[in-house]
Chain A
Amino acid sequence: MRLEKCWFCSSTVYPGHGIMFVRNDAKVFRFCRSKCHKNFKMKRNPRKVKWTKSYRKLHGKELTQDATFEFERKRNRPERYDRNVVENTLKAMKKIEEVRVQREAKFWEKRMKGKKSKERKEAAVELGQAIHLVKAPLAMQAEPSLTLPKVPEKMKVKVSVSKQDESQPMQG
């Protein structure tokens, strides 16, 4: 028993899950779920599909080169069982995993570093350009703050039909 990687999205395929396709040239393709299988059948390139691991790695969204990745390697040579070695390996695997998680978090932080200021700038621009949608320019002139006018719960617009009103010009 071993865990395989999905050919399309590179997720882990547990025993008894997914589907395996063996092409007539004996190349084996494993898929974690029907979604990946269907995408394969549609001849999509996993490097061009955004949700796959290969896309994310290719486009710098995830950690690609790291010392923690060097530990995990498929060995095609069978090793004779040694209890001590396996014990050490199990201990080491936990630590490696911790380190890897930390590094990935750090990578993410680094990647997201400039995002806040960028968003702030964009927000400022948007506020300046589109405030007229929520507050009329005349209202802005009267009260230049960004506080939005309040609408009463149950508003009844009274129409006063007075002679004076009719003759008077509309007020802002």
Chain B
Amino acid sequence: MVLYNFKKITVVPSGKDFVDIVLSRTQRQTPTVVHKGYSISRIRQFYMRKVKFTQQTFHDKLSTILEEFPRLDEVHPFYGDLMNVLYDKDHYKLALGQLNTARNLIEKICKDYVRLLKYGDSLYRCKQLKKAALGRMCTVMKRVGPSLAYLEQVRQHMARLPSIDPNTRTILICGYPNVGKSSFINKITRADVEVQPYAFTTKSLFVGHTDYKYLRWQVIDTPGILDHPLEDRNTIEMLSITALAHLRAAVLFFIDLSGSCGYSIAQQAALFKSIKPLFANKPLIIVCNKTDLQPLETLAEDERQIIQELKKEASKCAAGQLINAVPDDDDGCLLTMSTMTEEGVIAVKNAACERLLQQRVEVKMKSKKISDCLNRIHVAMPRPRDTKERPPCIPQAVIEARAKSNANRERKLEKDLENEHGGAGVYSVNMHKHYLLAVEDWKEDVVPEIIDGHNIADFVDVDILQRLDELEREEDALAEAALANDDEDMSEEELSPEEMQALAVIRRKKKKLLEEHRLKKTTADSRPIVPRRHDKDREYTSSRMGRHLVSMGLDPSAALNRVRSRSASRRGRKRERSTIGEDDADAMDIDQPSKRLRARSRSRSQSRALTEAIPGEGFKDTAQKQKAVKLAQKASKKRNKNARRGEGDRVIVNLKPKHLFSGKRSIGKTDRR
């Protein structure tokens, strides 16, 4: 069976693209390197190969185009006519013919130039010949450019044609524009044809499929037809005419009873008459549409007359092809419907399918092949052997089970409960009610989980009471045992209060010592070493020492006296009454008191320098030292007044020491070398 699918035709490139494709393929698929030094036969062969390859590529591509495009003489006459209408048969054939010619021309060019190349005597000449050959081939292709463009357009249009199978069961819908053809196909099939309230909304053929009697039916929607001679019809109308002429289908002729399509019933009847020859040998039904606007019964008398005539014509048509059709078959040929209210739509479809099926079966029965089929078919018709009733046997158990399950089906579902108690969001499901517990009342118990820092679930045990009894018995036994050996010796004495106090003081003291030691240790690095005499915290005072000694249980007076006698206080201390004078009054001369003693007894003020001559200083006595100091001060007095340099001034002995300013200087220091 021939499938009319034109979607797989390869793309036809435009003339320029065609040349580009072929030349680039030549470049890619033939050797590209040739040298003057090669033997001439090799050079010739190199270029000949190029020319031949190019020709071959052109040939192949053109051949595919010629093969893939359908030949108008070979396709089904329906498609043949369709293409003639759509693309113009002459133009189509001419275009293909031109391609064929171009193919031959290119072949001829190739042959000529290959022959010439055989006589090429240098690389240069061979190259020029090749160039000329390819150039001429391309010129040929350029000339057929318009044909290629036309074929590409045809291809694109053909790919979009509906895939109509001319041989299958088909229902064809025709009539004036805007009478409801597309609405009808939309109702009975899944095709989605555009429906608009203006003429020629449908501009091409549309195909939909529907089912009837388990068979697949093809429904074709055609553009509307106007009533004028064939020569005046435009392309769109011609599509309908082609379909009517070539498809062996059930034809539904639509009539708009209301006239809302813009054509009166008389005009529609005229159309019917003019295209009547196309209905020959086809099941025909006249469909009166839009009964919701204008029912058939309330039609004007003359118009109803016209309809009746049409009906007669249609039944005559039917009679022409149906052998056993009744001539006055009333209801079959005229049906009313309304696609708007869907009233009678299915009836129309069924009637059309039924008629077509009947016709096809009859045609088949008449053909010669049928006898071959019929004797292979046997339909068994079982005959009852007696009059006994044999009802199906259903076991009692099954019936009961079924009844039970039916009864169960009426139980309340959670959904019903929800609806009764306020619907979703209000009703909350009771999760407890399906619990399987020993006693029904327990279901709503609040089960304790935690008590006194323990999980109750960890303790739950069936025989916990027995175990607890055991534990208590064990505990009693333990208590008894403890009583038995409760003779703990408390013989050892406690510490006396004095001992305790002493211990406490000792421990406090130890702790303090330890702390002090640790503190000293931690700050040892960062603390300056200060002489003990700068006793900032007044730590080493005689009073403190005295207190300490007392706390240790010692009499501090002797120690303090000793300290006093050894210390040289910086502050002046009031002179106490001298005991010397009293003691030695008799022995010494009162008028001549010792100078030394006077000096010693006088307390030194803070501003007064230490004038006492220290052994090793080089002075005989204090007086001599004081004299020397005075002299020294006097000597420097004048110089100090003039701000001159004196003994006490800082001296830089050598401003430019040689060792720092000699030798090479490189990276390093300039002050130490």
Contacts and interface: CB of A to CB of B under 8 A. Distances in A.
A139 interface: yes
B551 interface: yes
Contact of B552 (A68, A146, A149, A161): A149
A134 B472 contact: no
A71 B506 contact: no
Interface string A142-172: 1101111101100101111101011011111
A133 to B, nearest CB: 5
Contact of A92 (B438, B464, B551, B555): B464
9 contacts: A2-B450, A3-B453, A86-B456, A92-B468, A123-B499, A148-B553, A159-B561, A165-B558, A166-B561
Interface of A: 1-3, 12, 67-68, 70-75, 79-83, 85-86, 88-90, 92-97, 99, 102, 106, 113, 116-117, 120, 123, 126-127, 130-131, 133-136, 138-140, 142-143, 145-149, 151-152, 155, 157-161, 163, 165-166, 168-172
B530 interface: no
Contacts of B449: 1-2
Contacts of B557: 157-160, 165
A113 B560 CA distance: 52
Interface string B547-566: 10111111111111110110
Contact of B502 (A113, A131, A159): A131
A83 B456 contact: no
Given A151-B547, A157-B556, A165-B561, A79 B509 contact: no
Given A86-B456, A96-B471, A158-B557, A81 B445 contact: yes
A148 B465 contact: no
B553 A149 contact: yes
A147 B451 CA distance: 56
B505 interface: yes
Q: Which of B436, B507, B552 has the most CB of A within 10 A?
A: B552
Contacts of B431: none
A136 B552 contact: yes
A122 to B, nearest CB: 10
Given A81-B437, A136-B554, A72 B499 contact: no
B539 interface: no
A67 B470 CA distance: 10
A74 B499 CA distance: 55
B552 A145 contact: no
B38 interface: no
B543 A95 contact: no
Contacts of B549: 136
Contacts of A148: 498, 501-502, 505, 553
B471 A86 contact: no
Interface string B477-498: 0000010000010001111101
Contact of A172 (B458, B498, B555): B555
Contacts of A96: 459, 468, 471
B439 A83 contact: yes
A2 B453 CA distance: 10
A3 B456 contact: no
A139 B555 CA distance: 9
B163 to A, nearest CB: 61
A9 to B, nearest CB: 14
Given A67-B474, A85-B462, A92-B464, A127 B452 contact: no
